[in-house]
Structure 1
Amino acid sequence: MQKSHTCEPTIEEGWKICQDCGIYLPASKNQCFRENNPTCIKISHQSLLKNYRENSDYNRGFNPSATYLKYRKILIDWICEVGESLHLSLLTIQTAASLYDSLLSTKEFSKPLLQPIGLIALLVAAKSEEGDENVPRFHQLVRFTQNSVATLKRLELELLTTLKWQIVVVTPLHFIYFYTSHGVVFINDAIGASRVNERTASYVRKYAEFFADLALQEHEFIQFSAENIACACIAGARKVVGIFNIWPAELEEMTGKKLENTCFGKLWKNYQESFVADGNSKVKQSKENKENVRKNV
């Protein structure tokens, strides 16, 4: 929400933060529209960002020769579908995908276990990101597999021990929510002859979530850090809503990153190839291909 900030700012490691509401105050004094984020913890903004960066192991243990990669796209799509049917949050689903990649890049499993491992990744992620009442139970998970509860419990222990219980995951969405809660749409941004407003900030956040999901589907993005992907997603979102300058000085100052040093070019190319070129026929063909692969996994 846009507002004036008349109080003296708090300076946190180079950031100017409004003492009243915690919004980011860029050096340009360009006011921004922020998205309220209920998942943000009320601690020092720079402490939270530092924690995110230290725990950002989005590409940890990535093995480009892992055999599961030939099935990864359809498996990740399936994990997302199951997560949605269990009413899990986007953060939980992305966390599960990261755990899934970490485990299968570290250890080989037979093809019949690839889907139940996805269920276990969702379970472990939910224990980290969801309230207790939203964590799925084993009797719910077995509906999605022919494996027994005993098998799922064994796989859960195998995931935890293989990853040495290092299951703290910071995904691109964590960074997206962090930055959008501080404001990534500025009052001087322009869309055609119009100015941006609070609704624009909401659209940017939703499109950034969309781009994060798009990056999740392609294994080529695992090589990039979570923050790198998040910055690319925010830039892509600003571009989709029509903001002229997709990466202004305020965002470079906030993130410490130049756009050309992110994976934005690769992400935007992937977006155009998936959703722009050939229109609906391309999307339809993609769905048909997924169904064919699904039957063989």
Structure 2
Amino acid sequence: MPPFDPSNALTPPLGKKPPSALPLQAWGKSSNSANLPLSYTPSKPYGLTEDIDEVLAMTTTDLYDSMRKVQEEYVSGEFHNPQATYLPFRRYLVDWMSDIGEQLPSTRRRRSTAPPSPELLEVTKLYQSGQTPLSFRDGESEVLDYLHWTLRAVCPLHVVGYYLSKGVTFEEDRWQGRKLIEKIPKYVKKYAEFFCNLTLQEYTFQKYEPSHLASAIIMASRVALNLEPKWRPDLASLTGYEEADIEPCFEHVFSYYEEQFPGHGSRSNSPKNVTDL
């Protein structure tokens, strides 16, 4: 498996072997009321081009609070057998589903292979929008019921998306001792999505609450890009987690990353694949 290069890979590869599981942090221990110190001057998010609250015409913090209230429903139990025979097949399934998911919304490819005749194109659109959903609706419902899939489940990727929309890099951050450059937020986003995929395949990460794991993923993304500091009061205010709250989960995520991609998880030097920034 080739090493992850965020400059070339939009869909990063997934891991293989699980590290030792870390204990699940109870909901009651979450620092969901983290506030900025009275003496601290908040730093302005770096790289944001729009206010997500204005775009959606809603207070997105309410959405985040709602996700945190229901997230416990989607945390797997603490007990599982790391030697279970189904785990390797689960990894293959997650890998396959990730690849298929990346291929399905390829609108550009569908347009390029559409019939050249406008009349045929309209007929194709009608068929896709009308007949196909009706044909597969009952089958999809049966599969969902049989597999006990919950489409409204909260996953770390949802929470990471919220964090990114509010800004997880700041004007006071430093990259290799210098001010941030324009591409940094984009690479933080790529790394965050990469870590979401990586932790999705490994079952031991299912023990963490989605917001807890998502916060650790943001920290891991900042560390992977050698951003300083790795956590700041602004992020504690955004996520509700202090650095000490997510440090064990971060160590779990980053050690698994280092295990799967040796030589690409240095915490002291900038990764080689971003030196061309």
Q: Which is helix-richer, 1 or 2?
A: 1
Over residues 180-224 of structure 1, what are the superposed CA-to-partner deviations in whole Å (9 max), with x where a residue is unaligned?
111111111111231013421121111111111111111110011
Note if contact 1:160-1:167 (Cα within 8 Å) is conserved in structure 2. no
Instruction: Read off the aligned partner of 1:194 and give its amino acid letter.
Output: R
The correspondence for 2:195, drawn from 203, 208, 211, is 211
Query: Which residue does 2:89 correspond to in 1?
Result: 71
Matching of residue 197 in structure 1 with residue 147 in structure 2: no
Cα deviation for residue 82 of structure 1 reads 1.5
The structure 1 segments of at least 4 consecutive aligned residues displaced by more than 4 Å after TM superposition are 13-16, 34-40, 60-63, 152-155
CA–CA separation in structure 1 for the residues paired with 2:152 and 2:161? 17
Which of 58, 65, 87 aligns to 1:50? It is 65
Rounded to whole Å, the distance in 1 between the matches of 2:98 and 2:78 is: 20
Q: Quote the residue 1:3 is aligned against.
A: none
Match of 1:266 among 240, 243, 252: 252
Q: Which residue identity lines up with residue 229 of structure 2 in the other structure?
A: N
Alignment partner, residue 170 of structure 1: 154
Give the residue type in structure 1 aligned to 2:194.
Answer: F
Structure 1 counterpart of 2:69, one-letter code:
E
Is the 2:34–2:242 contact (alpha carbons within 8 Å) kept by the matching residues of 1? no
Alignment of 1:81-100 (within 5 A): 81-87=99-105
* Whole-angstrom CA distance in 1 between matches of 2:99 and 2:173: 36
Q: Alpha carbons of 1:63 and 1:79: their partners in 2 closer, same or farther (altered >3 Å)? A: farther
Distance change (3 Å), C-alpha of 1:83 and 1:206: same
In the alignment, is the contact (CA less than 8 A) between 1:187 and 1:197 conserved in 2? Answer: no
Deviations, residues 29-54 of structure 1 (Å, cap 9, x unaligned) = 31111546889743112211112212
Does the CA-based 8 Å contact 2:46-2:170 persist in structure 1?
Answer: yes
Name the aligned partner's letter for residue 28 of structure 1.
T
> How far apart are the structure 1 equivalents of 2:189 and 2:253?
16
The number of aligned residues is 204
Match of 1:28 among 28, 41, 52: 41
Conserved 8 A contact 1:27-1:250? no
C-alpha contact (below 8 Å) 2:192/2:218 kept by paired residues: yes
The structure whose RCO (Cα within 8 Å, separation 6+) is larger is: 2
Alpha-carbon distance in 1 for matches of 2:223, 2:260: 16
Q: For the Cα contact (< 8 Å) 1:173–1:209, is it kept in 2?
A: yes
Tell whether the 8 Å contact from 2:216 to 2:250 is kept in structure 1 after alignment: yes
Percent sequence identity is 27
Structure 2 residue 144 is the aligned partner of structure 1 residue 159: yes
Q: Distance in 2 between matches of 1:160 and 1:61?
A: 21
Distance 2:153 2:230 in 1: 28
* Partner of residue 164, structure 2: 180
Counterpart secondary structure, 1:276: coil
Distance in 1 (alpha carbons) for counterparts of 2:78 and 2:143: 18
Structure 1 letter corresponding to 2:178 = S
Q: 1:241 to 1:48 in 2, by over 3 A?
A: same
**CA gap 1:231/1:155 in 2 versus in 1, 3 angstroms:** same
Give the AA of the match of 1:248: R
Verify the 8 A CA contact 1:35 1:183 in the aligned structure 2.
yes
Task: Give the Cα–Cα distance (whole angstroms) in 1 for the partners of residues 77 and 146 of structure 2.
Answer: 15
Q: Could you tell me whether the CA contact under 8 Å between 1:35 and 1:180 is conserved in 2?
A: no
Provide, for residues 94-143 of structure 1, a one-character-per-residue CA deviation record: whole Å limited to 9, x for no partner: xxxxxxxxxxxxxxxxxxxxxxxxxxxxxxxxxxxxxxx79xx589xxxx
- CA deviations on 1:242-294 (whole Å, 9 max, x unpaired) are 11211112211221212343311010001111112599xxxxxxxxxxxxxxx
Query: Cα offset for 1:155?
Result: 6.5
Q: Does 1:251 align with 2:235?
A: yes
Secondary structure, counterpart of 2:41 in structure 1: coil
